[in-house]
Amino acid sequence: MSEDFLDISGMHIDSGKAPMLDEIRFPILDGLSAVNMRILNTSSREMHVAKGVEVLHEGSASYDMHFIRKGSVSITRRTSKGLKILAQIRAGGLYGEFGILRKKFRYTSVFANEPSDIIRTSASSVQRVIEGDAAFRDRLNTLLSNRLLDSFFFTHPVFQPLPAHLRDLLSGALKIHYSPPFTQIFSRGDKPTGVHLILSGEVELSLPGRNNEDTLLEIRRDNDMVGELANRDGSLAYSAYATEALDSLWLNQETMRLIEEASPTIYKNLQKLINARAQRTAQHLKQQLLKS
């Protein structure tokens, strides 16, 4: 570098230390440019974690990314039956993609299964890399979708009985639909295209009221659904609006066929659940219309 210039960014200074992150130990980083690798490494620090430590808590607002250099962790979620282990991540893996990509409170907790070395990388640095590298962003989105679906299968009452091989089969076949915050999912009177099972997010249900003002009916969240009720003419009976980032499993005809082929029992129970939800919604709408 010319003596006329001073590099104050730290991007081009050799610290003399071996980088903590590389594509050999962490395959998801494969293909990142040298500049992007430097961005991640300069904002990373290594933690030595004892066995049993809860390194991330369900509901927390920690948005950093964590790479496991040594050891392993369990991803858990609290259910009505207690703490449920959703997955185990070993050396070479990572967690924290949900906070990075969705910028919402964590929906799972993370515990160290054994003494582990974990590299914590700042959310702002990861975000910079995501914005400049579409392939890396796509890999993280795929990882997020797979984990959301696994979590959904483990915690949803209809899908919980699925054996592991069918759960893996459906995880590979089904696709999660993402809706950005403040998105109209559908409007009252639209033609139905399928039921949306909510994996993560919040959806407001509304009816048009007097003076063109909508009436908020309810807010639906994780493991609930929207789009289950139609009017007599076949159109959707209410409007649905995502108030935050929404991940949903879209149950159209093709998706329902895949579920039926994988497990007729799960398919029948899912139909019963949708019908029961539609009946409750119809009763709720009837009460609201009588009040207006």
CATH number of residue 182's parent domain: 2.60.120.10
Instruction: State whether 130 and 245 are in the same domain.
Output: no
Instruction: State whether 136 and 207 are in the same domain.
Output: no
Instruction: State whether 123 and 67 are in the same domain.
Output: yes
Report if residue 228 sits inside a domain.
yes
Instruction: State whether 120 and 239 are in the same domain.
Output: no
- In angstroms, rounded to a whole number, what is the distance separating the alpha carbons of residues 178 and 131? 18
pLDDT per residue, tens digit, the chain (292 aa), is 444 544 444 444 444 567 899 999 999 999 999 999 999 999 999 999 999 999 998 878 778 999 999 999 999 988 777 788 888 999 999 999 998 998 887 778 999 999 999 999 999 999 999 999 999 999 999 999 988 898 889 889 999 899 988 888 888 888 899 999 999 999 999 999 999 999 999 999 999 877 777 889 999 998 899 999 999 999 999 999 999 999 999 999 999 999 999 999 999 999 999 999 999 999 988 887 777 6
Instruction: State whether 182 and 218 are in the same domain.
Output: yes
Domain span at residue 110? 27-155
* Phi and psi at residue 241, to the nearest 5°: -135, 125
Instruction: State whether 110 and 208 are in the same domain.
Output: no
Please work out, in degrees rounded to the nearest 5, the angle formed at the alpha carbon of residue 129 by the alpha carbons of 5 and 146.
170
Tell me how far CA of residue 260 lies from CA of 150, 164, 187, 245, in angstroms: 18, 16, 29, 29
Q: What is the pLDDT of residue 194?
A: 93
Q: Is-contact 162 98, C-beta < 8 A?
A: no
Q: What is the pLDDT of residue 2?
A: 45
Domain count, the chain: 2
* Phi and psi at residue 165, to the nearest 5°: -70, -35
